[in-house]
Structure 1
Amino acid sequence: MSEPPVSYKRHRFPPQIIAHAVWLYFRFPLSLRLVEKLLLERGIVVSYETVRVWAHKFGPDYVRCLRRKKPSRQDIWHLDEVVVTINSEKRYLWRAVDQDGYVLDEIVQIRRDTRAAKRLLERLLCKQGCPPKRMITDKLGSYGAARRKIMPKVEHCQHKGLNNRAENSHVPIRKRERAMQGFRSWSGLQRFVETFPAVRNHVVPPHSHRSAFATHLHRLAAMAEWKSVTLTAA
């Protein structure tokens, strides 16, 4: 079933401006105030709070309409978690990426135990529709305990050196965290990671030996699809 088209009813700004603001916010490590300044340089007077509203409202709608990589039973899941601090409170951002570097899911959780790992695996199976060929993690015991309960037949490799793909996937969110001088709330962080990785997946080519020309074509195709999804194609 195809997703319904994005609606811009009761918005006084043209769709091109709204889509471009959302694109800037999720595609690059920019704060809301920096997006506001970039728009102002183009003669568009809009507050950073309006950009926040657009990002929360239209970001998930855009992501639902974008084409996604089809899951396969030959996929390899790399799982890892990273500490995030908001108002002196620490929680864990759990992340799963595949062998090509595509982020499959992210979820904010309070703990770093088996229950948290189990919740991540259950979400992944629900979203992907099939288990992977192999699962690679660091030596945290919670992953092994959760795998035995959720998908016991899947091969599990626990080796810190083999999990660099998942660990490197934390870099974009860390850059955004610094640009925004930290996130303001846990609910806001969860909303952000439900859109930000999907936009990045759409634009960044897979981790493979591509020529500069092939990468350029990939990005042009991604921009064309973005304009089609946001109904801003000329």
Structure 2
Amino acid sequence: MNPINFKRHRFPPAVILRAVRWYFRFTLSIRDVEELMAERGIEVSRETIRCWVIKFGPLIAANLKRGRPSPTRRWHLDEAVVKIGGRRMYLWRAVDDEGEVLDVLVQKRRNKHAALKLLRRLLRNTGVHPESIVTDKLASYRAAMKILHLQTRHHPGGMRENNRAENSHLVIRRRERKQQRFKSQGSAQRFLSTHGPIYNPFNLQPHLISRPGLRVLRGHAEAAWAAATQAA
């Protein structure tokens, strides 16, 4: 973990981290975070919170990614249409079979080169060679898998087979509506690259586990957050 430097900031680290965590962890706008801070007697402007999010969000996300265990070897890939700046773009998303967000990539195309870029990023950044990759029936996946010699591990199917990836888009859809759409491809990519690693430790799926088990997992998530946000 790389310690985070909070020097030359007027507010203490605990306040900064709380604002950043609220923004990425919950479906809140910068204005919502400002109001929650004011409710607790902390007067901070929206512009200040926005600067905190841009500066500290990626640092925390990078630390959380370093501390996470390796994902499983069963991956689910999917793409969804998003409107950014009035243009039609595609949100490519990869998760493992436990719902861990592996990568999110905003691209202008829905073709072989876009699928290939996502797969190469996954293989490079995860360090895991998948045993199965489930996708929809888009032909671009087949072409990309053939280039990477992964066609024997590729399992194209319908929406039901790839339900894990389909459901993972719902969180981003809610954020997209809250933010009244993403403003540019770059800002969308920056937000999504930070959101995924912060979302992962707290994605506990409480409906699938007992209450004592949930307390244990929440404790692990809090410990991971504390380690990732340690001040220099």
| TM-score relative to the length of structure 1 | 0.92
Name whichever structure is richer in helix by fraction.
Answer: 2
Task: Tell me what 1:10 maps to.
Answer: 8
Which aligned runs of 4 or more in structure 1 are off by greater than 3 angstroms?
Answer: 206-209
Deviation at 1:154, TM superposition (A): 4.2
Deviation at 1:217, TM superposition (A): 1.8
CA distance in structure 1 between the partners assigned to 2:130 and 2:157 by the alignment: 17
Partner of 2:215, secondary structure, is helix
Q: Quick check: 1:132–1:154 contact (8 Å CA) kept in 2?
A: no
* RMSD after superposition: 1.6
> What aligned pairs does 1:48-127 form with structure 2 within 5 A after superposition?
48-66=46-64, 67-72=67-72, 75-127=73-125
Which amino acid in the other structure matches residue 158 of structure 1? P
Structure with the bigger RCO (C-alpha within 8 Å, sep 6+) is 2
Task: Tell me what 1:184 maps to.
Answer: 183
CA distance in structure 2 between the partners assigned to 1:203 and 1:100 by the alignment: 13
CA distance in structure 2 between the partners assigned to 1:96 and 1:207 by the alignment: 22
CA distance in structure 2 between the partners assigned to 1:50 and 1:81 by the alignment: 34
Task: Tell me what 1:211 maps to.
Answer: 210
Is 1:149 aligned to 2:147, yes or no? yes
CA distance 1:30–1:62, change in 2 (3 Å)? same
Deviation at 1:153, TM superposition (A): 5.5
| TM-score relative to the length of structure 2 | 0.93
CA distance 1:8–1:127, change in 2 (3 Å)? same
Matched positions, count = 228
Query: Percent identity, aligned pairs only?
Result: 46
Q: Quick check: 1:84–1:92 contact (8 Å CA) kept in 2?
A: yes
Task: Tell me what 2:37 maps to.
Answer: 39
Partner of 1:84, secondary structure, is strand
Deviation at 1:128, TM superposition (A): 1.3
Deviation at 1:127, TM superposition (A): 0.7
Q: Quick check: 2:93–2:165 contact (8 Å CA) kept in 1?
A: yes
Q: Quick check: 1:101–1:206 contact (8 Å CA) kept in 2?
A: no
Q: Quick check: 2:142–2:151 contact (8 Å CA) kept in 1?
A: no
Q: Decide which of 20, 23, 44 is 1:22's aligned counterpart.
A: 20
